[in-house]
Structure 1
Amino acid sequence: MNIKNVRIYTMDNSDTIIENGYVTIEGNIITAVGEGSPANETKDDIDGRGMTLYPGFIDAHTHMGLTSAGVGIEGEDLNEEFDPCTPQLDILDGINPLDYSFELARQAGITTVIVSPGSTNPIAGAIVAVKTDGRRIDSMGRGRIGMKMALGENPKLTYMDHEQSPVTRMAVASIIKDNLNKAQRYMRDKEQAESESDMPDYDSAMEALIPLLKREIKAHFHCHRADDIFTAVRIANMFDLDYILIHCTDGHLIAEELAGEKASCVVGPVICDRCKPEMANLTPKNAAVLKENGLEVAVCTDHSEVPIEYLPISVGICIKNGLSFYDGVKAVTSSAAKIVGIDDITGSLEPRKLADMVLFEGSPFEVMSSPALVMVDGKVVRREGV
């Protein structure tokens, strides 16, 4: 099938905008993107009537399906706060894909969400990328893409209440470094073992950290305050980790230094107040300042801190405060995909990518806008007026 007569933001490496073109889909894969009309038209083709087609939107940091609105403690599965180091936790065991938030995401044009554990633990567990359409979480994602780590107030206050370490920033960082050192030694012992009897005793926590040390997955550092951001960078450099700065609230104050590190930042939530001391410098100009300094930037909701359906409005606020429209699109498409490491399959409209796309008549980032069409993996999940 084809989606035709559309203006296309391809978001590919050439930053191409096709003024009047088409996208051809076979199964769940894009097979062609071009100007004019498709060579082979079918009865199932969708006429976009001059609207604008974008890649499906990506929220680069959420807790989707780990918390259910209005349910209370029974629906809270994002924080295992009785051990500060839990890398072995498999987040797929906690996500409920039938939670209503997934439907709200689809209706807003969000086709992929990055789902992370909460931030009470210095090392909290696996992070996955999942599509927003489906009933079985095993078939909605692509496995582990990251490891959640948290700095600053959240782990401090959590374990202060439990009357155990960590209760200082020093201790939070120390737990992360100690366990990464242990994982390095565990990995080395496994590699040097000459027989089964020489192998170290199986340790699920250390096993879970090996892909991080091998740079097969990324470290997602929860960090708001400038000193916590630099602690994240310090730890990442110490262990040669591929890393992302999540929230990066003070990033606008230290943008030049972060540019020197070539850091990647996921900014948000944007629609919120300064609800705790480490967010005192929160500003909607953050994304624009970071981008102006050459950093790769994505925008997130941190759902359920901000409901998932407000991702496009969050981008609109960033655009109002200095981010260009095109960079706003990138912040929830190609840049978001690149930052989290899924740009080989999604984030742009080009052949061999998954058929994730969203069609709008007006700006997708205005409060009155709704998508006319949303497609996830080649399946139309919303269609109105086309």
Structure 2
Amino acid sequence: MKLLLLKNCLMINITNQNIEKKDILVKDGKIDKISEILDYDACNTDVIDVQEQYVMQGLIDCHTHVGIIEEAVGKIGVNNNETSDPVTPHMRGIDAINPFDLAFYDAIKSGVTTVMTGPGSNNAVGGLSTAVKTYGKIIDKMVIKDPVGLKISLGENPMSTYGKMNKAPITRMGTVALIRELFMKAQDYIKLKEQKKIKERDIKLEAVVALLKGEISLRVHAHRADDIVTACRIADEFGITKMVIEHGTEANLVKDYLAEKNIPVAYGPMISPRSKIELKNRDYNCALELIESGIKVALITDHPYNLIDQLRITAIFAISEGLSQLDAIKCLTTSPAEILRCNERIGKLQEGYDADIVVYSGKPFDINSKVVITLINGKIVYKR
């Protein structure tokens, strides 16, 4: 297998924001070496002279429905909500992902190399999400981690979905009661399994076991501040140590509480209309407020509610409100990698990491900059 060498790359040092010129050697899908000048064997190395264009690690969107809500397909391609039942922890996002969805191509041409994709928010308990690379034909070969979290939804969506059917949940209390009921049954199920008293496996409860054992995260759809606090209450009641607030429109109103509990926020979508009451306090400044409070923040598109190729644009909006370039980089790379608990492989332009690399025509957060080249696992998957 030939090596790949990217020469004369402008890299942003994420510790001091200095611009450094480096060569990057890629081997077996990983970043093998990064140095000022790397020699190479012409017979065994493909060389790309980047010509002092900016190079960054691939962007990561840790909350989307890419491949599950398909583009240009219509209703039959909308597979994110199994609304036959408000409690569906056993739904697995991977079973609905179409790797040929047009959004995957939009992702790679905009420098997004990893996404978390999974169930929607109409159910009190929606199911299991997965983290995948954005290039490939066989979804199982694109997976980085499956599952990465169990989705629950608080607030307007479950109530509006089932309330009109006069079926629980009709209220916020009803939504949380369904979640508690499931988690209590799962606790009892775990005890019976430990005592070897289970005669028949329960597919719904099996899906919750990994969460209660701390193996995956609780991913909580919550916009309003009171729903965010409710999520914290649920986590405390059931000893859940890994939780992520998804959306967090009003997270800044309870930022000190989130900081105290060390709970990260996957914030967004930012570039969206206030289409429901829970979004009335949407503010481009929220990410900055959260970060200044010591909260780990990832910016998300929630594709297709913002399009996947708008991920970098959300950071530009946040920068316009005072977010530093360094924090913007973290919001799109290291922080979402840590939230997905895949940070041993992705999120850094560093030796030993997956060679998910993006070359830009100008400064990464210049609105006029274009993605010139995208590499995923060391393979050129897009070239402008």
Give unpaired runs (5+ residues) of structure 2. none
Matches within 5 A, 1:137-216: 137-141=139-143, 142-193=145-196, 198-216=197-215
Q: Which moved more, 1:248-257 or 1:261-270?
A: 248-257
| Alpha-carbon distance in 2 for matches of 1:31, 1:41 | 15
Q: CA deviation at 1:160?
A: 0.7
Q: Which residue of 2 aligns with 1:345?
A: 345
Asked if the contact 1:114–1:128 (Cα under 8 Å) also holds between the matched residues in 2, the reply is yes
Q: Which residue of 2 aligns with 1:292?
A: 292
Q: Which residue of 1 aligns with 2:121?
A: 119
Do residues 61 (structure 1) and 63 (structure 2) align? Answer: yes
Give unpaired runs (5+ residues) of structure 1. none
| Alpha-carbon distance in 2 for matches of 1:365, 1:350 | 21
| Alpha-carbon distance in 2 for matches of 1:183, 1:332 | 34
Q: CA deviation at 1:41?
A: 5.1
Q: Secondary structure at the match of 1:45?
A: strand
Q: Secondary structure at the match of 2:246?
A: strand
Do residues 380 (structure 1) and 380 (structure 2) align? Answer: yes
Q: TM-score, normalised by structure 1?
A: 0.94
Q: CA deviation at 1:215?
A: 1.1
Q: Which residue of 1 aligns with 2:30?
A: 29
Instruction: Give CA deviations for 1:71-91 in whole Å, capped at 9, x if unaligned.
Output: 322111000012111111121
Asked if the contact 1:116–1:128 (Cα under 8 Å) also holds between the matched residues in 2, the reply is yes
Q: Which residue of 2 aligns with 1:7?
A: 10
| Alpha-carbon distance in 1 for matches of 2:373, 2:155 | 41
Matches within 5 A, 1:231-310: 231-241=230-240, 242-310=242-310
Q: Secondary structure at the match of 1:97?
A: coil
Q: CA deviation at 1:274?
A: 1.1
AA matched with 1:295: I
Q: CA deviation at 1:18?
A: 5.9
Q: Which residue of 2 aligns with 1:219?
A: 218
Q: Secondary structure at the match of 2:115?
A: strand
Q: CA deviation at 1:15?
A: 6.4
Q: Which residue, 41, 50, 53 being the options, matches 1:51?
A: 53
Q: Secondary structure at the match of 1:249?
A: coil
Q: Which moved more, 1:357-366 or 1:46-55?
A: 357-366
Q: Which residue of 1 aligns with 2:111?
A: 109
Do residues 131 (structure 1) and 130 (structure 2) align? Answer: no
Q: TM-score, normalised by structure 2?
A: 0.95
Q: Secondary structure at the match of 2:250?
A: helix
| Alpha-carbon distance in 1 for matches of 2:174, 2:286 | 29
Asked if the contact 1:108–1:309 (Cα under 8 Å) also holds between the matched residues in 2, the reply is yes
- Structure 1 residue ranges (4+ consecutive) displaced by more than 4 angstroms after TM superposition: 14-18
Q: CA deviation at 1:46?
A: 1.4
| Alpha-carbon distance in 2 for matches of 1:321, 1:160 | 38
Q: CA deviation at 1:321?
A: 1.1
| Alpha-carbon distance in 2 for matches of 1:210, 1:274 | 36
Q: CA deviation at 1:240?
A: 2.3
C-alpha change, 1:225 and 1:88, in structure 2 (3 Å) is same
Asked if the contact 1:10–1:55 (Cα under 8 Å) also holds between the matched residues in 2, the reply is no
Aligned alpha-carbon RMSD (Å): 1.5
Asked if the contact 1:312–1:366 (Cα under 8 Å) also holds between the matched residues in 2, the reply is no
C-alpha change, 1:201 and 1:15, in structure 2 (3 Å) is farther
Asked if the contact 1:166–1:172 (Cα under 8 Å) also holds between the matched residues in 2, the reply is yes
Q: Secondary structure at the match of 2:281?
A: coil
| Alpha-carbon distance in 1 for matches of 2:16, 2:213 | 32
Asked if the contact 1:190–1:200 (Cα under 8 Å) also holds between the matched residues in 2, the reply is no
C-alpha change, 1:39 and 1:238, in structure 2 (3 Å) is farther
Count of residue correspondences:
377
